[in-house]
Amino acid sequence: MNPIKKIVFALSTVLLIIITGTIGFMYLEGYNILDAIAVTIATLTTSTVGFGNLVPHTVSGKILTLMIIILGVSLVAYVFGSVVGIILEGQLKNIMGRTKMLKKISSLENHIIVCGAGRVGQHVVSRLVKEDVPFVVIDKNPEIIAKLTAEGILAIEGDAAEDEVLEKVGIKKARGLITALPGDADNVFVALTSKELNPHIKVVARANHVESQNKLIRAGADKVISPSVIGGRRMAISMLKPVSVDFVETLIHQGFEIEIEEIVLGNNSPLAGKCLKESGIKQKTGAMVVAIKRGEDIINNPSADDVIMGGDLLIVLGTRSQLAELEAMASPR
């Protein structure tokens, strides 16, 4: 039986005993209802026979008193044991859960650290879950952490600006950190601390104010995103180009979300050394190469005659299935 149900059952039994004892003392000893209740509760809780001058005189009354004493001791022990069981079970589950969580986090490599799972951070988390990439969340709010862990997401409670917390989530083995805290100053501290602990980590930071962007860059952020700026641009485009926006939203709502992917061509890729026209990328997968990054140079809107080479990074636009086909097509055979 569930521990909570055990306690409810025990308390219900106690109430039944009080009612039965009250009626019994009224009938057997001739007590009024208040005296009968007082004697019953005193006997049940203290195991002491009698209450003041009220002492059972009949054999039946004494037997009833003994039964209440025996049942009272048993029920008190039962309720106490159930409460202790709930406490210990809950603490044990929490300890085991935290231990298991920390063990999983310690085994992470090449993962992403998300600092803050508030209004912006929760969308970051949703996207990372969708992309099925390893990540761990840091947040100060215990309710948010409890919600995330209940969903099976790795998360710990703490201050992301503290070295100890970042080291606990494997900052030195992580490939990236996204700081989406509501305060720009907090994001600056996180960016600065993370770069000190791991100079090679890529940091993407949230900026609520435009003037904070340069500070975040100086603190070590590789990319700064301003939700307010993006939201404002989106609103303007929705007004100026409503048909285009409606078209994209229709694709999203129908489950055909257009995505941008970065695909690095190996030197042994079957696509290396071919021009886009000969590669068959568009014809076979439906995906569109919108740019080619070669070293520090970027070829925007490449023509059909542009040759792709081993080591190039292709920036491709397409659906998830199209991008998956292209990745398989570009892999060495």
pLDDT in tens, 10-26: 778 778 888 888 888 88
In a domain, 243, yes or no: no
Domain co-membership, 13 together with 92 = yes
Domain co-membership, 154 together with 63 = no
Residue 158 has pLDDT above 80, yes or no: yes
In a domain, 239, yes or no: no
**Radius of gyration, alpha carbons of the chain:** 34
pLDDT classification of 49: cutoffs 50, 70, 90: very low
Domain co-membership, 206 together with 302 = no
Domain co-membership, 121 together with 187 = yes
Domain co-membership, 169 together with 212 = yes
Domain co-membership, 182 together with 207 = yes
CATH number at residue 182: 3.40.50.720
Domain that holds residue 180: 108-225
Percentage of residues in the chain with pLDDT exceeding 70? 85
Given a contact cutoff of 8 angstroms between Cβ atoms, the answer to whether 326 and 316 are in contact is yes
Structural domain count of the chain: 3
Q: Which of 72-86, 234-248, 318-332 has the lowest mean pLDDT?
A: 72-86
**Boundary of a domain, candidates 101, 116, 144:** 101
Given a contact cutoff of 8 angstroms between Cβ atoms, the answer to whether 289 and 316 are in contact is yes
Residue 104 has pLDDT above 80, yes or no: yes
Average pLDDT of the residues of the chain: 83
Given a contact cutoff of 8 angstroms between Cβ atoms, the answer to whether 198 and 178 are in contact is no
